[in-house]
Structure 1
Amino acid sequence: MNPFKKLTIFIASALALGCSSNSIPKGVTPVTNFDAARYTGTWYEIARLDHSFERGVSRVTAEYTLNPDNTLTVTNKGYSDSKQKWRQATGKARFVSDTSTGHLKVSLFGPFYSDYIVFELDEKNYQYALVSGQGPDHTYLWLLARTPTISEPLKQQLIDKAKAAGFDTQKLIMPQQF
């Protein structure tokens, strides 16, 4: 079996098992007035909490495409530093309730879905976002931006927002984008 397919299966399984409860982490509230069409396009990973499925991966991007049925196609891509090659996984996301709330379920493999909760978003220009996974333990966190880098003051503002929401921001990884 293709090593990246194995990784994708592992990611989906880990997320499904790790996110089996149906609760949003305490301190996290999905944004409202979410516009999926404006969210489409490429997002760069500026920071993340460590996970085995992303360990050793840099130049991470997520590409979102809006489908006619209001689902999103999601393509995650990153460069494996140890294997010196690109890895990619494509899946889909669907809204949990209404399309104006930034709470989706994402599947990168089969029937396994995990929460994708946009809890901070540049609503004016859609230039940055904070995204959480599901569960009370604040395990999953991503800081995303439309550009490979953001200003230090903005980065610190978003890190402070994540910390206030209960995330251990001392453990954030800042992957290289170049």
Structure 2
Amino acid sequence: MDRMTSRIILPLLAACLLAACSPAGPVGNAAVPQPAKSVDVERYLGRWFELGRYENGFERGCEAVTAEYSLRPDGLVKVLNTCNAGGVDGRERVAVGRAKIVPGSGNAKLRVSFFGPFLGDYWILDHAPDYAWSIVGEPSGRYLWILTRSPTPSEPVRKKLESRARSLGYDVTMLRWTHH
């Protein structure tokens, strides 16, 4: 690596590492529960629409957020996240990652990576019997996502999912509802 490259790349890598290790914001659930039930991976695959989330740096400014899960040839799960980043150009942001199912978790816990060796927890805390909705968190309680198969579920469904998140210990006043 030449001197110019190392002056640019190394500080950038250090900043990314520090950002990954720093708190992501207020904790919305100090005692995240274990996932409520096992997950049938085949039924979980496909497109999900983000109904609501705890705001976070990597989704700041995003609307029309979707996540699409598919099996990769190596047995991992491909994660394709997209959002409309707004602005006058309505530019789309795309992030591609991979997820590994945590053994012994009933397929409800995954380790996800969008950037090299850095892994994050993805816990499917609860889901509808027909996989019409899912509530996703992780052990720190800083992140929460409410996902649905429809971009605009009915108001009673939204209220039900908000109530379910509250019953899981989440501060639902911190939810940011996503526009589709």
TM-score by length of 1: 0.81
Alignment: residue pair count: 162
Q: Structure 2: how far apart are the matches of 1:75 and 1:49? A: 19
Note the alpha carbon deviations across 1:55-112, whole angstroms, 9 max, x for none.
1111100000013443200000001112520000101011112363311111111001
> What does residue range 26-105 of structure 1 map to in structure 2 within 5 Å?
26-82=31-87, 84-98=90-104, 100-105=106-111
Note the alpha carbon deviations across 1:8-50, whole angstroms, 9 max, x for none.
x95x97455559xxxx962422143311111111000000111
| Contact kept? 1:46, 1:145, Cα under 8 Å | yes
Establish whether residue 106 from structure 1 lines up as the match of residue 112 from structure 2.
yes
What is the root-mean-square deviation in Å for CA atoms of aligned residues? 2.4
**Counterpart position of 1:146:** 149
Q: Structure 1: how far apart are the matches of 2:49 and 2:71? A: 18
The one of 163, 173, 176 equivalent to 2:176 is: 173
Establish whether residue 133 from structure 1 lines up as the match of residue 138 from structure 2.
yes
| Contact kept? 1:32, 1:101, Cα under 8 Å | no
| Contact kept? 1:13, 1:112, Cα under 8 Å | no
Structure 1 consecutive aligned stretches of length 4 or more whose deviation exceeds 3 Å: 12-19
| Contact kept? 2:37, 2:126, Cα under 8 Å | no
Structure 1: tracts of 5 or more residues without a match: 1-5
TM-score by length of 2: 0.80
Secondary structure in structure 1 of the residue aligned to 2:156: helix
| Contact kept? 1:15, 1:114, Cα under 8 Å | no
User: Could you tell me how far 1:52 is from its partner in structure 2?
Assistant: 1.9
| Contact kept? 1:35, 1:99, Cα under 8 Å | no
| Contact kept? 1:90, 1:108, Cα under 8 Å | yes
Structure 2: tracts of 5 or more residues without a match: 1-11
